[in-house]
A and B are shown apart, each in its own frame.
Chain A
């Protein structure tokens, strides 16, 4: 299997050589001098829709959500009793480094490499591998510069691949208060459905709370500008989940609809 970064490098090496410095040519400079004499009042021609909001929301983000098929036979709960995911907790615990390494390597080997060509070398060079434990369950995200993926270990020990996303936005694009929801998919295990999320944060974001419809809060695991969280969620659960970002200065950015973030990151 050809490593994806190798493939990209091979493509670049095979490309027609690029001529640089054409902006210095007389025709380009003449164009520049002409354009700046044109009145700027005329309406523009075809182009991106004008963005009138105070905030530039350029990009769209998303993830390849896990395909959801079949009916949920078990109604997920939010911890307690005999419900599915009974040991799940709204507050996460850290995933020990050994478990993080094991789950990420298994996930690449069993799921990500066969399906998408992602490699152990890319995992080893990942920008972040962030894991958490909630009850009997382990969950983590792998963020490389080219792709992100989430992996889940159920209480039986089986590894599941969650979302994947290619070509994430850069740190710079997220600024201080931005957020890109890189994973937002439902996963089905033997206990029913769960909502897995993962994301990339602006530099000033130190905490993330997930607010479910009805008001229950799920605290995300946050480290070095990345976050992960998950919770049991019925396949037909109502929408309305939001994120609240907690910033280093003590302020918060609340009411960020997860559904909207799935379509477009908040860029600062």
Chain B
């Protein structure tokens, strides 16, 4: 069996895909790792990039927009995967590290603030964590993040406002535990 000779457009398509892969792989892997088991992350990333390769004409130009497109595909794949596993519950995002050894040399106040923030984050719903993660950690604009979630930008903007408000509320409500910084 011999492969069909490449058309004139194929080398350009391959070059564009390689550039996209090189530029977006790390961010996409991180996006997926935050939302699923580490062992499954590479499989999801592979499927997303395969989709991008097959639908390269649909991938918007510009890394910023293309990256958001990849995130959207990944979000859909992860959601469908959860549905097929009959696990409908939203997944808490693995974003913040537990304060610990890494802060051993940090000022006590900084460690305490980190602990408060981690606890406040943990009290957020997965939905609130999701909207904050998309903007704060994954640097998507509101419209891009809305597209990932399949909601209107208006709805996303409101969710983001409410999530920030709840995080601030949790931060101010976190009880001080004597000895927490020791």
Q: Which residues of A contact B (CB under 8 A)?
A: 1-2, 4, 7-8, 10-23, 27-28, 31-32, 35-36, 38, 40-48, 50-51, 56, 58-65, 116-117, 164-170, 172-173, 180, 262-265
Within 8 A of A (CB), among B147-182: 147, 152-158, 160-161, 164-165, 167-168, 171
- Pick the most buried of A4, A15, A166, A170: most chain B CB atoms within 10 A of its CB: A166
Which residues of A sit under 8 angstroms from B158, Cβ to Cβ? 64
Check B77–A45 contact: CB distance below 8 A: yes
Contact A15:B50 (CB < 8 A) given known A2-B171, A35-B17, A60-B152: no
Closest to A10 in B: B117
Contact A45:B51 (CB < 8 A) given known A40-B56, A117-B168: yes
Q: Show 17 A/B contacts (Cβ-Cβ < 8 Å), sorted by A.
A: A7-B164, A11-B117, A14-B117, A22-B29, A31-B49, A41-B54, A42-B54, A47-B72, A47-B73, A48-B72, A58-B144, A59-B142, A60-B152, A60-B154, A167-B140, A168-B142, A263-B154
Q: How far is the CB of A87 from chain B (nearest CB, A)?
A: 32
Our pick among B14, B117, B141, B156 for the contact of A170 (Cβ within 8 Å) is B141
B127 lies within 8 A of chain A by Cβ? no
Closest to B154 in A: A62
Check B53–A35 contact: CB distance below 8 A: yes
Which residues of B sit under 8 angstroms from A48, Cβ to Cβ? 58, 69, 72-73, 76, 147
Which residues of A sit under 8 angstroms from B143, Cβ to Cβ? 58-61, 167, 169, 180, 264-265
Which residues of A sit under 8 angstroms from B156, Cβ to Cβ? 60, 62, 166-167
Contact A58:B154 (CB < 8 A) given known A12-B136, A20-B26, A169-B143: no
Which residues of A sit under 8 angstroms from B77, Cβ to Cβ? 45-46
B90 lies within 8 A of chain A by Cβ? no
A101 to B43, CA, bound (A): 54
Which residues of B sit under 8 angstroms from A264, Cβ to Cβ? 143, 153
Size bin of chain B's contact surface:
35 or more
Which residues of A sit under 8 angstroms from B141, Cβ to Cβ? 59, 167-170, 173
Interface string of B89-116 (1 = CB under 8 A from A): 0000011110100000000000001100
Contact A17:B147 (CB < 8 A) given known A44-B55, A65-B154: no
- Give chain A's interface secondary structure class: loop
Q: How far is the CB of A226 from chain B (nearest CB, A)?
A: 16
- Give chain B's interface secondary structure class: helix
A263 to B147, CA, bound (A): 11
Which residues of A sit under 8 angstroms from B61, Cβ to Cβ? 56
Check B26–A21 contact: CB distance below 8 A: yes
Which residues of B sit under 8 angstroms from A12, Cβ to Cβ? 136-137
Closest to A56 in B: B60
Contact A36:B18 (CB < 8 A) given known A8-B136, A23-B26: yes
A112 to B179, CA, bound (A): 37
Q: How far is the CB of A190 from chain B (nearest CB, A)?
A: 27
Contact A166:B157 (CB < 8 A) given known A14-B96, A60-B147, A60-B152: yes
Given contacts A60-B146, A61-B143, 4 further A-B contacts (CB under 8 A): A47-B55, A56-B60, A64-B161, A166-B160
Which residues of A sit under 8 angstroms from B157, Cβ to Cβ? 62-64, 164-167
Contact A64:B154 (CB < 8 A) given known A11-B117, A22-B26, A47-B76: yes
Closest to B61 in A: A56
A44 to B154, CA, bound (A): 29
